[in-house]
Structure formats: C-alpha cells, structure tokens
Amino acid sequence: MDELQRWRMGFSIVGQVLFYYVNQPIVRLLIGPEAYEQLTVDILADHVTRFSLAAIGYSPPLLSAPEHLDAGEGAP
C-alpha cells in the first residue's frame, strides 16, 4: 500500500467520524430520538473500526455476500 492509499483510508475514517458529528440533527430525524441516544461514542467508534478494517480486508466482512455473488454470477 502506498502513501496516497494510506492518506485516502485515513480521510475515509475522518469522513465517517465527521458525518456523525456534523449531521447529528439529520441522523436524529432519520432514526428517531430513542435510537439516536443509543449511538454512543463507543458504539460508533467500534462501528467505524470494524467497517474500515473489513473494507481493507483485515477483518471478516460485516455482511454475507448476496446469493447471486456467492454463485459466481454477475450483479442483476
């Protein structure tokens, strides 16, 4: 991995963190106040960490591949 790839990954992580911080009112409207209150710093940090590590192949995927991809077929 070259230096520019590392920078882009770092910026992606910063972008995820800023999304939750800057868009708090929108997130609250979308998921409701009760669900929003469950979005603690620890939960969000864990999500960003697991998501980022899975994206670069350093941990298992967060979701299973759709069946059409498991069968070796192209996207519909």
What is residue 70's predicted lDDT score, i.e. its pLDDT?
Answer: 57
* Mean pLDDT, range 24-39, rounded to an integer: 96
CA dihedral 44, 5, 63, 25 (to 10 degrees): 30
Q: In whole angstroms, give the CA distance from residue 29 to residue 56.
A: 31
- Tell me if the pTM is above 0.75: no
Task: Note the pLDDT tens digit of each residue in 37-66.
Answer: 999 999 999 999 999 999 888 888 888 777
What is residue 25's predicted lDDT score, i.e. its pLDDT?
Answer: 96
Q: In whole angstroms, give the CA distance from residue 51 to residue 56.
A: 9
Percent of the chain predicted with pLDDT > 90: 70
What is residue 18's predicted lDDT score, i.e. its pLDDT?
Answer: 97
Q: Are 46 and 59 in contact (CB under 8 A)?
A: no
Q: What does the domain layout of the chain look like in residue ranges?
A: 32-60
